[in-house]
């Protein structure tokens, strides 16, 4: 059976599935039950400085969007960092780590952006037995207004400065958690690396308003008639997170910087995708909040079976495997030609593909007598829209044309790899000179 053991920055855990810093990791009761369920590690709910505890709203703190089957697709929250006393958290962390020495225990931190505050909190956590710290530069609401969270994470110079303090005052591995609420994720990652970070984790939540009540005209979640932007997470954010992970993994400046992948991980397959794009492990929040801690058992068995099928002996064989296949648009093969093909046996004759292609794509689907839908190869540009709107999985597939065949749409013979950089229509290409 495949070995799922994960070694992230020298922190070993029985599997690469960690719970992200959030309500699931808020207290001893939760974390013990999470470890019993099988989670490989946790990042404890973010701790702040000693002082009066943080105050959360007492009305709804979550908003959501759902698919047609009411499955939760995106979750939005206006929760702050832990609202429990610092010492209570520290005592609990110490006890839990002692009882589960084989699990990863990371402490998430967010304190004011001054050297003394960071020195002090790092001193306070020293004897908890924790395996590492994660710097929460991500929370988009509540804390940013106080000069913390994403207020720091949006300024690379601050990220570097705080990371340097952390490396100066602590020997623990330091993971910098990045906010996606910026234009180019590589800049904060580079700053973290310059500051001496051992790894980055991403993404934290995305600024969002999930909905507006059109009777009361208040954004949801509504607190006494008012709403505010919250942090968006769950399956809907996965594509954004995957891209950001890949950007860091393939950038010459940050290549090789260990990554903990976060954002919408719900199944073992999601985890494999994050790891293939360069993450060494994954962190999960919304899936645990939606389905409970035991969801990790499906992740473990699914990953194990996948690795056995692929003949992967360790998770290291997955990490970064897809990174060489992520490229810029101008390097894509413009001589790769496909055509949509409809499986008549699978087709339920709903006509969605026809409507989509006829109205908004290339009028490449014919509706024949008896609602028989067929693709006109001489019109099909292979956009993939019909595949994406068809309600029957694998009913429409894209079929590659072999080299040497003639594309009936363009009349051109399918040739070897060639990209935009050398295309005759490119004014900058050598061929155009
Ligand atoms: C209710 C809630 C509270 C959160 N609190 C924190 C926090 O205290 N510290 C932190 O770093 N991230 C926090 N997060 C963000 C998660 O750790 C994670 O980055 C994000 O939810 C994306 O992962 P997911 O799609 O698996 O939920 C919170 C998320 C939620 C939903
Ligand atoms: S791939 Fe695009 S152009 Fe071709 S049939 Fe489908 S929708 Fe039409
Ligand atoms: S969308 Fe799919 S199922 Fe519906 S008509 Fe087209 S091919 Fe058939």
Structure confidence by residue, pLDDT tens digits, 222-256: 999 998 999 999 999 999 999 999 999 999 999 99
What is the token pair recorded at 194? 């310059």
381 lines ligand 2 (CB under 6 A): yes
Q: What is the pTM of this model?
A: 0.96
Answer yes or no: is pLDDT of 105 > 80: yes
Q: Whose CA is nearest to atom 22 of ligand 1?
A: 263
The answer to whether residue 139 is catalytic is yes
Q: What per-residue confidence (pLDDT) applies to 143? A: 62
Q: Whose CA is nearest to atom 29 of ligand 1?
A: 22
Indicate the pLDDT class of residue 152, thresholds 50, 70 and 90.
confident
User: Can you give 40-51 as a three-state secondary structure string?
Assistant: CEEEEEEECCCC
| Ligand 2 centroid – CA 67 distance (Å) | 25
| Ligand 3 centroid – CA 336 distance (Å) | 25
Which ligand approaches the C-alpha of residue 391 most closely? 3
Q: Please give the Cα distance from 177 to 7 (Å, whole number).
A: 18
384 lines ligand 2 (CB under 6 A): yes
Alpha-carbon Rg for the chain, nearest whole angstrom, is: 25
- H or E element in which residue 36 lies: helix 28-37
| Ligand 3 centroid – CA 68 distance (Å) | 19
386 lines ligand 2 (CB under 6 A): yes
Q: What is the pLDDT of residues 372-404, one digit of tens each?
A: 999 999 999 999 999 999 999 999 999 999 999
Q: What per-residue confidence (pLDDT) applies to 401? A: 98
As a whole-number percent, the residues of the chain with pLDDT over 70 amount to: 96
| Ligand 3 centroid – CA 67 distance (Å) | 20
Closest to 354 measured CA to CA, from 316, 404, 315, 389: 389
Mean pLDDT of the chain: 95
Cβ pair 259, 278 in contact under 8 A: yes
Q: Which of 113, 139, 353, 395 is catalytic?
A: 139
Cis peptide before 212 (omega within 30 of 0): no
Closest to 342 measured CA to CA, from 351, 334, 331: 351
Q: Which residues contact 359 (CB under 8 A, 6 or more apart)?
A: none
Domains of the chain, with CATH numbers?
6-325 (3.20.20.70), 329-432 (3.30.70.20)
Answer yes or no: is pLDDT of 359 > 80: yes
Answer yes or no: is pLDDT of 138 > 90: no
Q: Which pairing describes strands 396-400 and 338-342: parallel, antiparallel, or unpaired? A: antiparallel
Q: Which atom of ligand 2 is nearest to the CA of 383?
A: 2
Q: Please give the Cα distance from 108 to 274 (Å, whole number).
A: 21
Cβ pair 420, 329 in contact under 8 A: yes
SS3 256: coil
Q: Which residues contact 429 (CB under 8 A, 6 or more apart)?
A: 420, 421, 422, 423
Largest distance between two CA atoms of the chain: 77
What mean pLDDT do residues 11-32 have? 98
Sequence-ordered strand ranges (E) for 35-79: 41-47, 62-66, 72-77
């Amino acid at each position: 059976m495949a070995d799922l053991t994960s070694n992230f920055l020298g922190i070993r855990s029985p599997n690469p599935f960690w719970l992200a810093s959030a309500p699931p990791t808020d207290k001893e009761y939760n974390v013990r039950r999470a470890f019993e369920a099988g989670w490989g590690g946790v990042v404890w709910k973010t701790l702040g400085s000693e002082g009066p505890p943080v105050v959360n709203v007492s009305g709804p703190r979550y908003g959501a969007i759902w698919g047609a089957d009411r499955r939760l697709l995106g979750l939005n929250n206006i929760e702050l960092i832990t609202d429990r006393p610092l010492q209570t958290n520290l005592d609990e962390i110490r006890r839990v780590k002692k009882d589960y020495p084989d699990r990863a225990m990371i402490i998430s931190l967010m304190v004011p952006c001054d050297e003394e505050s960071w020195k002090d909190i790092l001193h306070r956590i020293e004897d908890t037995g924790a395996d590492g710290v994660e710097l929460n530069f991500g929370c988009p609401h509540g804390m940013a207004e106080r000069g913390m969270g994403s207020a720091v994470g949006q300024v690379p110079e601050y990220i570097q400065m705080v990371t340097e303090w952390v490396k100066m005052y602590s020997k623990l591995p330091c993971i910098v958690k990045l906010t996606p609420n910026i234009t180019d994720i590589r800049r904060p990652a580079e700053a973290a690396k310059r500051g001496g970070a051992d790894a980055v984790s991403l993404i934290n939540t995305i600024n969002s308003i999930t909905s507006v009540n059109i009777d009361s005209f208040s954004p949801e979640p509504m607190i006494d008639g008012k709403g505010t932007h919250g942090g968006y997470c769950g399956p809907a954010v996965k594509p954004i997170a995957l891209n950001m992970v890949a950007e860091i993994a393939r950038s010459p400046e940050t290549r090789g910087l260990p990554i903990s992948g976060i954002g919408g991980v719900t199944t073992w397959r999601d985890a494999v995708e994050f790891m293939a794009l360069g993450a060494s492990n994954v962190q999960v929040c919304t899936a645990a909040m939606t389905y409970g801690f035991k969801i990790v058992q499906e992740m473990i068995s699914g990953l194990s079976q996948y690795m056995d099928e692929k003949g992967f002996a360790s998770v290291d064989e997955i990490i970064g495997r897809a990174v060489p296949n992520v490229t810029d648009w101008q390097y894509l093969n413009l001589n790769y030609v496909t055509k949509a093909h409809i499986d008549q046996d699978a087709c339920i004759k709903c006509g969605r593909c026809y409507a989509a292609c006829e109205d908004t794509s290339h009028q490449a689907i014919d509706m024949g007598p008896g609602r028989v839908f067929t693709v006109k190869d001489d019109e099909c540009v292979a956009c993939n829209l019909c595949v994406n709107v068809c309600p029957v999985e694998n009913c429409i597939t894209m079929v590659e044309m072999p080299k040497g065949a003639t594309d009936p749409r363009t009349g051109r013979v399918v040739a070897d790899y060639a990209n935009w950089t050398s295309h005759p229509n490119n004014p900058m290409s050598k061929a155009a000179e």
